[in-house]
Structure formats: structure tokens, C-alpha cells
Amino acid sequence: MNKNRLTALFLMPIAALSLGSSCKGRETMSKKSDLTVVQVDSVSLHNYIDRKKTAELRIYGYLPNPAYEIHHVETWVEGDEIVVIPWASHDPKKIVIQMNVPFEHLCKVQGVEKHLDYRIRQGDPDRSVLQMFKID
């Protein structure tokens, strides 16, 4: 009987470790090598440069924890939609508290026409529209 208890005590931590490593918790971010897509909460029009047909957008959102920072933001125009995808890098050497960190980032979008209504969305066409605004 003692032999079975010792075996069970030995195997339980191994089983717990193997189960724990396969679970990702609430991590729903897609990866691109060492970068992670982070969610955008809102977008505002910062500036519009008419001769270059360029809009400067200020995006707001939350990073998963303080070890993340915005690496770059992909932007493009698809018809009447402006697509915004912020990518963040993670520094695995940092020891940080696990909490969301707000971010604000200025990005440029080429090919934006004046006097049109645009919908802002993040990534996939199936995702809901973040907001709408008109370039004046």
C-alpha cells in the first residue's frame, strides 16, 4: 500500500506539470514569430495630410503585461475600411506583474481619400468594426 502512495505522490506533480504546460489560459492572441497581435479599443483621427492622402491615426488599447511594447502597426485601406493591426514584442527576460498596460500609438495610413466615410476594423473581415469617421 505504501508503494502505491509513493508512486501516486511521485506521478501527480509530473501529471500536473504536463497539463499546465499545454494550457494557455485566456491567451487569444495570434503569433507572428516573436510578435503578438494586441487588441485595439479605440481609434481617433490625429491629422490628415491632403497632398499625400495620408491619415495619422492614434490607436488606444491594452498590452497583456508590462513586458510587452508596440513593435509596429500594419495599416492599409480596403475600399471604405481602414484595417489596423498592432504588433507587440515581448521581452521574456523581464519579471513583471501580470496586469494589462494601456498603450497609445500614432500610425500613418496611406491612400485615404478626403470627404469619405471610413470604417475602422482590426484584422479579420469577420471582426466587428471599431468605429466610423469621416475625413474632412
Residue identified by cell 492622402 is 53
CB-side neighbour CA atoms (13 Å) of 42? 5
Residue with cell 479605440: 42
Strands 117-121 and 81-90: parallel
Residue at 37: amino acid letter: V
The DSSP symbol for 112 reads P
User: In the chain, helix, strand, coil percent, each to 5?
Assistant: 15, 50, 35
CA distance 38 to 100: 11
pLDDT for 57 equals 93
> Which residue do the cell numbers 514584442 mark?
89
pLDDT digit string (tens) for the chain, length 136 residues: 566 665 555 545 544 443 333 333 333 344 556 899 998 999 999 999 888 889 999 999 999 999 999 999 999 998 888 999 999 999 999 999 999 999 999 999 999 988 888 988 887 666 677 888 887 7
Say which residue the cell 500613418 belongs to. Answer: 108
Cell of 77: 485601406
Instruction: Identify whether the C-beta of residue 61 lies closer than 8 Å to the C-beta of residue 100.
Output: no
